């Protein structure tokens, strides 16, 4: 297994460009199974989660072709409606195929999904919504089978604005008879992106990005051409890393409007941020200030950036409270940050971070995707060398992370584990 080695203490400098959002691309790829014709998708990141989704589409019978960051998906000849267990275990987002396959073919069989272990993320919201749309569902030995002659529009109110459930129900309702009204839905940019893609295919959707979405079912969807939105979590990670290292970076091809909560907190911490259209200039302060954080569904502070922000606050002046209100087990990175010298106390969903003078490089383990990003931020600002294991987590969400950071002057490299025990040149 590879290890990421980082020699900290160097400010990030230079220009980088953001690629398409993983969390937008995955549901869009799932939605292509409902289309008749070829979908041409631009700015699809080259990530492990994307590879798994493409393997699932191939298993179903779709034609898949990649040219750089562009994907061509032809779902005209899909013959299967089951998602293999070994692929479901690799990625939770494969549950997105439930709605599209059920809507188009009237049947789907999936296993309970896997992915990062960051707390309870039950699929109950998905299943309840499918039942209200008319599906008959049987659950047995970790397998879920859904059947419906024809889904019928209805009114559904989510108990919590789950992004995954919102997206799955949108896709199921697009081909249902009549009108579906979804209330208390997720408002994340990735939800809006999915709706916009579906509309280019012929879907009739109103209200994406608001509390209520209305969908009038159509009989079929056509292929289309579409560009995935920039990845706001990757953008945010680069911004936090620049702030941590007292760096000065220029980010192109981003969407600042999707990062309002983060921009506000970074400015509170002393970071200077200038915005011009799809570009941002981020300059870290000489002395970071503590900035309290509470995660929440969009447009609140994103839970996916909570861990990197904790690494940043570990070296800030003063004390920071972070409240995690989305996933209850998203503090697994705390123990590894403490190994690097951070002063952090956790009580349930709340953590108290007392800023220290300096973090120190250490050998640490990424236990999930965003926790791994926190260790990268900590390694960049720490004194000495940090070695990060568990890179398969980072590969799920960051495309060529070491290459992008080297382009920003970071002293970072990916090495085989046998070499990782040797000192850096």
Q: Which residues are catalytic?
A: 116
Contacts of 418 (CB under 8 A, 6+ apart): none
DSSP 302-365: -GGGHHHHHHHHTTSBSEEEEE--S-TT--TTHHHHHHTT-EEEEETTEEEEE--S--B--EEE
Q: What is the CA radius of gyration of the chain?
A: 22
For residue 215, the number of C-alpha atoms closer than 13 Å in the C-beta half-sphere is: 35
DSSP 106-152: SEEEEEPP----SS---SHHHHHHHHHTT-EEEEETTEEEEE-SS-B
CA dihedral 309, 162, 181, 189 (to 10 degrees): 30
Answer for the pair 370, 308: CB distance below 8 angstroms, yes or no: yes
Going across the sheet that includes 136-140, the strands are: 107-111, 143-147, 136-140
Query: ∠ CA(352), CA(354), CA(355), 5° rounding?
Result: 140
Return the structure tokens found at 323: 């409240």
DSSP bridge pairs for 411: 7
Contacts of 276 (CB under 8 A, 6+ apart): none
Q: How far apart are CA 306 and CA 416, in angstroms?
A: 29
Q: How far apart are CA 55 and CA 90, in angstroms?
A: 11
Q: How far apart are CA 94 and CA 30, in angstroms?
A: 8
Cis peptide before 299 (omega within 30 of 0): yes
Q: The tokens 């790829």 sit on which residue?
A: 29
Q: How far apart are the first and last CA of the chain?
A: 21
């Amino acid at each position: 297994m590879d290890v990421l080695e980082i020699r900290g203490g160097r400010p990030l400098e230079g220009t980088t460009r953001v690629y398409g959002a993983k969390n937008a691309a995955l549901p869009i790829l799932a939605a292509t199974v409902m289309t008749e014709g070829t979908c041409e998708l631009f700015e699809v990141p080259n990530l492990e989660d994307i590879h798994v989704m493409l393997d699932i589409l191939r298993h179903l019978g779709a034609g898949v072709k990649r040219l750089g960051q562009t994907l061509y998906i032809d779902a005209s000849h899909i013959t299967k409606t089951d998602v293999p267990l070994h692929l479901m275990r690799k990625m939770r987002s494969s549950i997105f195929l439930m709605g599209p396959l059920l809507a188009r073919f009237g049947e789907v069989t999936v296993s309970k999904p896997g992915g990062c272990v960051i707390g309870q993320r039950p699929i109950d919201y998905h299943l309840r919504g499918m039942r209200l749309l008319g599906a008959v569902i049987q659950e047995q030995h970790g397998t879920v089978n859904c059947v419906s002659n024809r889904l019928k529009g209805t009114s559904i109110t989510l108990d919590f604005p789950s992004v995954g459930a919102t997206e799955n129900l949108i896709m199921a309702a697009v081909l249902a008879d009549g009108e579906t009204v979804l209330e208390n839905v997720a408002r994340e940019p990735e939800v809006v992106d999915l709706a916009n893609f579906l509309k280019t295919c012929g879907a009739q959707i109103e209200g994406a990005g608001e509390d209520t979405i209305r969908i009038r079912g159509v009989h079929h969807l056509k292929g289309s051409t579409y560009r995935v939105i920039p990845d706001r979590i990757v953008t945010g990670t680069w911004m936090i890393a620049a702030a941590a290292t007292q760096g000065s970076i220029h980010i192109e091809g981003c969407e600042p409007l999707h990062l309002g909560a983060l921009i506000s907190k970074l400015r509170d911490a002393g970071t200077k941020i200038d915005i011009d259209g799809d570009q941002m200039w981020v300059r870290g302060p000489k002395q970071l200030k503590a900035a309290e954080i509470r995660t929440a569904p969009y447009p609140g502070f994103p839970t996916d950036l909570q861990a990197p922000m904790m690494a940043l606050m570990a070296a800030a002046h003063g004390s920071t409270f972070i409240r995690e209100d989305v996933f209850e087990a998203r503090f697994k990175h705390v123990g590894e940050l403490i190994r690097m010298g951070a002063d952090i106390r956790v009580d349930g969903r709340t953590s108290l971070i007392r800023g220290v003078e300096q973090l120190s490089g250490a050998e640490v383990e990424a236990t999930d995707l965003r926790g791994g990003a926190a260790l990268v931020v900590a390694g960049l600002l720490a004194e000495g060398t940090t070695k990060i294991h568990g890179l398969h987590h980072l590969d799920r969400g960051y495309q060529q992370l070491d290459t992008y950071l080297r382009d920003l002057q970071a002293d970072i490299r990916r090495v085989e584990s046998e070499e990782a025990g040797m000192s850096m040149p």
